[in-house]
Amino acid sequence: MVPVQYYLLLSAGLFCVGLFGILTRRNALVFLMSVEIMLTAANINFVAFSFQHGNLTGQVFSLFTIALAAAEVAVGIGIVLVLYRNFRGVDVTEAATMRW
């Protein structure tokens, strides 16, 4: 049996990859993907601890998270579309006109 620490390391690695994507990339679609990767990292944590404690609640929660991620992608794609329409591109740093 693989110890829970390895899963946690994997999850932390994935989270950092997602965070790196958000902090460095400008493409809105890459943003969405990075967010998905971070959510996956959270899911791995849920499942790992569920397995560790022998309690199924964590796994149920990860199912919820997957459903929520799907909804989020739908909304996110919508935002990306509007962004494209208004700024002729999907660069998130361009959309900075609503500040002071």
Task: Report the alpha-carbon distance of residue 56 to residue 37 in Å, rounded.
Answer: 23
Q: Candidates 9, 26, 63, 86: give the one binding other proteins (CB under 8 A).
A: 26
Closer to other proteins by Cβ: residue 1 or 98: 98
Q: What is the DSSP letter of 27?
A: B
Q: Candidates 22, 33, 42, 73: give the one binding other proteins (CB under 8 A).
A: 22
SS3 at position 91 = strand
Residue 74 touches other proteins, criterion: CB under 8 A: no
Burial of 42 (0-12, 13-18, 19+ CB in 10 A): middle
Residue 5 touches other proteins, criterion: CB under 8 A: no
Provide, rounded to whole angstroms, the least separation between the CB of residue 90 and other proteins: 12
